[in-house]
Each structure stands twice: as C-alpha cells, then as structure tokens.
Amino acid sequence: MQNIRIRAGRLAYEQIRDGGFNLDRIGSYFGPAGGPRWLVASGFDLTLLKEGLLGRTLPVWLVGASAGAWRFAAWLQPEPVKSYLALREAYISANYGRKDTPGAILQSLTTLISSYIEDDALPFALTNKRYRLAILTCRMKHLIASERPWVQKAGFILSFLANALHPSLIHYFAERVVFYYGSRPPDFCLQKEFRGRFIPLSEINFKSAVIASGAIPIAVGGVRDIFGAPDGIYRDGGFLDYHINQDYTTRNDGLTLFFHHQERIIPGWM
C-alpha cells in the first residue's frame, strides 16, 4: 500500500468529511490512454467487476480513450469478467515486428477486439442497465488524416508547434468524437466548453469505435468512415484526451473515479 497514493478533489473531501465515502456517489469512471500500462489497472477493474461495486443504484458512465475504451467495452458484455480476461490475455499475447505495416497492425487489432467482443453479444451490451459507455476518438484533419507515415509525422510536428503557441490550436488538427451508449449523451458532452461531437453507439459501429480509439497514429492504420459519424479517418482518442482532460461528473454530488499508473496527469499527447 505504500506505493499507492489516493487523491481526492474538494467535493470528495467534503463528502468524506460530512458522511463518509460512498461508492454509490461515483457517477463516472475514467480510463486513460495509457498504452500497455493499463495492465496495472486490470486487478482493480476486476475487483470492481466481480464485487459489483459500481452502478448499484444509478448507472455509471465508463469514459475511456484508447486502452481505457478497450477495458470498458468489456464491462458491458454479458459476461464482463470473462470478456475482460480474454482482452488481457489477447493483449499480452499480441506480437508485432518492425516490418509490420500500419494496415497489418490494424487488422491484428481488429482480430484482438473480436476475441473478447462477440457480435452476438452486442445487443445485450447496448441494453446494459448498470453501465453506460463513452468512447473517445479523434477524427483527424489535414496532414494527420493521411495514411502516409511521413505526412503524418509532418502533421504531428505542426500540431506540436501549434499546441505550444496555444492549446486551442490543437483542434485544427483533430476533432473530438465521442461514441456513447445511454439514453442521452453524457453530461460532459452537453457543457458549453465541450469541443467536439457525440454519436450514439450501435451494433454496427460499436467495434469500429473501440478499434479507432486505440489506433495509434503512424503505427496503426486509421479507421475510415465509421457508421453514423461524419466521414473521415478516426484515430486514437489519446491525441486530445490522453489522461483526464474534462469534468466527467454526472450530477451535482457525483464523483469521478480515476485509477492511474502515475502521479502526473497529462491532458493530451501534445
């Protein structure tokens, strides 16, 4: 326990002080785009799943980018623990070489996603009563939308320089697109400071959204023209939402849970 640090915001401290911490106050759980470091959180996730600690009284929003989206897609499945373990095993077993093309890696990731998300299970996933899902992706613009690695690299250099001038300029290179399952869009998408758009998840676009959220630029081919969303190339949501980057609370007294592999929180890649 000495290597674990627990932090809480003002509202959480006030709730603990006034009446103790209650898991039913957690309205959202955020999963960052941490690459393979998501494996650090797997034990924590499985404990929450097995014990059914979240969403007991009201549905909880699971908000994730890249690896975070992959993790939470398993939570909605009819057998979430089985799906989560299948994801972990497939992820650890995946093997890539220097000669693998972005297209080949994209195909490999598509197979990986299908190993723990079965098509027949999607109707059940999209009627889950305990959890809601928000998948963070980026619809790339200009140079970063190219499938040529050297063009993407040039786009990344320009986006880095633009972000250094002013963080708002990063949106010139990518648009945030949130794919969601719920009776209504997540509250953070309805705030006036939100930049992006939100698209309902369906059986048709579910897997595409999950794959796109983890499609790392340059290394992985982009996902083109996701059903129900504007045409374009979709890539890793971590470009704009690397770690926690918005207020994901769902109600006035709600809290956001965030398990992280490090103390430092970085909003976006740039």
| Res 261: pLDDT | 62
Q: Is the distance from CB of 44 to CB of 231 less than 8 angstroms? A: no
Contacts of 100 by beta carbon, 8 Å cutoff, 6+ apart: 108
- For every one of its 270 residues, what pLDDT tens digit does the chain have, with 9 covering 90 and above? 566 666 667 777 777 777 767 788 888 999 988 888 899 899 999 999 999 999 999 899 999 999 999 999 999 999 999 999 999 999 999 888 888 999 999 999 999 999 999 999 999 999 999 999 999 999 999 999 999 989 999 999 999 899 888 888 999 999 999 999 988 999 999 988 899 999 999 999 999 999 999 999 999 999 999 999 999 999 999 999 876 777 777 666 678 888 866 566 665 555
Q: How far is CA 232 from CA 12, 222, 244, in A?
A: 40, 9, 25
**Cα distances (angstroms) measured from residue 78 to each of 14, 65, 118, 257:** 36, 22, 10, 23
**What pLDDT shows up at residue 119?**
95
Residues 63 and 73: their CA atoms lie apart, in Å, by 10
Q: Where are the domains of the chain?
A: 10-258
In the block, residue with structure tokens 């957690």: 26
Which pTM value belongs to this model?
A: 0.92
3-class SS of residue 64: strand
Residues 6 or more apart in contact with residue 242 via CB below 8 angstroms: 32, 33, 65, 266, 267, 268, 269
Measured CA distances, 213 to 32, 58, 172, 235 (Å):
11, 26, 19, 6
Angle, CA 110 vertex, CA 66 and CA 186 arms, to 5°? 40
